Structure 1
Amino acid sequence: MSRFRLERAVALPPAEVWRRLTDWPAHGERVPFTRTTVLTPGPNGVGTRFTARTGLGRLTFDDPMEVVRFEPPGPDRPGVCRLVKHGRAVRGWAVFEVLGEGAGSRVRWTEELRLWGVPAALDPVLSAAGRLVFGRALDGLLRN
């Protein structure tokens, strides 16, 4: 399993950060060659399912995910969302937290990935790639 963690401080209120991070199709717009499709009717919450399809042409893979924890931020508590990845090619989980910090927010994103066919010896490479790709996606989601 490859694990990585991202952290960002932004000058946006927690509710706005939460809204952006739970806009699942927007994630696909930020990850190269990826499109995200929500499979369940709204609103977002525990049980929401979506699939990120990544690739070019016939060379694609799906990353189906399900929200298993969904606690929006409140005045005295951080927001926490946990996703479980159920795919054949991609397994693992992701958790993000949104914490109020002064007039803005802090985001902590932790993800653990397992890619089919990728040996554990390459976990450090996969972690570095995850930090790069998901770091850029997170920055894009928070920049809008």
Structure 2
Amino acid sequence: MVNFLLERTVPLPLDEAWRRVTQWRRHGEVVPLTTVRVVPPEPTRRGTLVVARSGVGPLSFDDPMEVTVWQPPEDGAPGLCHLEKRGRVVLGWAELEVRPGPGGRSRVIWREEIRLRLLPSLFDGVVRRSSRYVFGRALNRLLRSP
């Protein structure tokens, strides 16, 4: 099991930072070899299923994640989205939080726990480093462009 935390402070209002990190299909544009579909389509709410398909050809797999908490930021209060991973390959959870930061900025926090079936804990260090790198780059790209 691997846990990691990413934090970014950005010059965006809360609602815009939230919109950028919860545009699920855009995650597929910023995570290599991944496409994302949402069931049912927008708007996101509790029970929405976000399915990330990663890989190439026969080496592809689905990472279905169910939204179990959906609290967009409102009136300056933080926003929180919790997703439970429900796949056959990837298990765990992810949380995206957007809260007020210094000087009118927004603080974006991405927490994740990943368990890969059949992968021994010996590989946790590699999974942690590669996850922080891939998802850190993805988060930067999501927050940079509308």
Q: Same fold (TM over 0.5)?
A: yes
Give the match for residue 42 of structure 1.
Answer: 42
Give the deviation of 1:129 after TM superposition. 0.9
Give the match for residue 14 of structure 1.
Answer: 14
Q: Write 1 or 2 for the structure with the bigger share of strand.
A: 1
Give the match for residue 58 of structure 1.
Answer: 58
Residue segments in structure 2 that go unaligned for 5+ positions in a row: none
Q: In 1, distance between residues paired with 2:114 and 2:22?
A: 20
| One-letter amino acid matched to 1:136 | R
Q: In 2, distance between residues paired with 1:16 and 1:80?
A: 14
Q: In 2, distance between residues paired with 1:45 and 1:64?
A: 15
| One-letter amino acid matched to 1:64 | P
What is the RMSD computed on CA atoms of the aligned residues? 1.0
Q: In 2, distance between residues paired with 1:74 and 1:115?
A: 35
Q: Is contact 2:72–2:79 with CA below 8 Å preserved after alignment?
A: yes
Give the match for residue 95 of structure 1.
Answer: 95
Q: Cα deviation per residue 1:46-84 (whole Å; 9 max; x = unaligned)? A: 111121000112210110011000111122421111000
Residue segments in structure 1 that go unaligned for 5+ positions in a row: none
Give the match for residue 131 of structure 2.
Answer: 130
Give the deviation of 1:90 after TM superposition. 0.4
Q: Cα deviation per residue 1:92-137 (whole Å; 9 max; x = unaligned)? A: 0001110112221011111000011211121121111110000000
Give the match for residue 104 of structure 1.
Answer: 105
Matched-pair identity in %? 51
**Structure 2 SS opposite 1:58:** helix
1:59-74 alignment runs, 5 A limit: 59-74=59-74
Which aligned segments of 4 or more residues in structure 1 are displaced greater than 4 angstroms?
A: none
After TM superposition, the structure 1 stretch with the greater mean CA deviation from structure 2, 117-126 or 128-137, is: 117-126
Q: How many residues align?
A: 144
TM-score (norm 1): 0.96
Q: In 1, distance between residues paired with 2:59 and 2:125?
A: 24
**Structure 2 SS opposite 1:43:** coil
